[in-house]
Amino acid sequence: MARAYAGAAGTHMFFGLLSISAGIAWIVLLYYYDSLFVTTDSGDKISLLTIVPTWVIVLLSAKIICGFWFFVTGAVGCCIKSRGCTEGVFVALNVLNVIIWAPALLLIMCVLGYMLIFSAALLSSVGFEPEDLNTIFTAYLWLWVFPGVGLLVGVVEFILSIVSYSIVCCCRPSSLNDGYEYQYEMK
Q: 26 near 63, Cβ under 8 Å?
A: yes
What letter would DSSP give residue 38? E
Query: What is the distance between the alpha carbons of residues 91 and 85, in angstroms, rounded to a whole number?
Result: 11
Predicted TM-score (pTM) of this structure: 0.75
Q: Which residue would you say has higher pLDDT here, 142 or 102?
A: 102
How much is the pLDDT for 159? 95
Secondary element (H or E) of residue 46:
strand 45-47
Q: Which residue would you say has higher pLDDT here, 102 or 52?
A: 102
* Residue 63 amino acid letter: K
Residue 107: CB atoms within 10 Å: 13
- The answer, yes or no, to whether residue 97 has pLDDT greater than 50, is yes
How much is the pLDDT for 3? 62
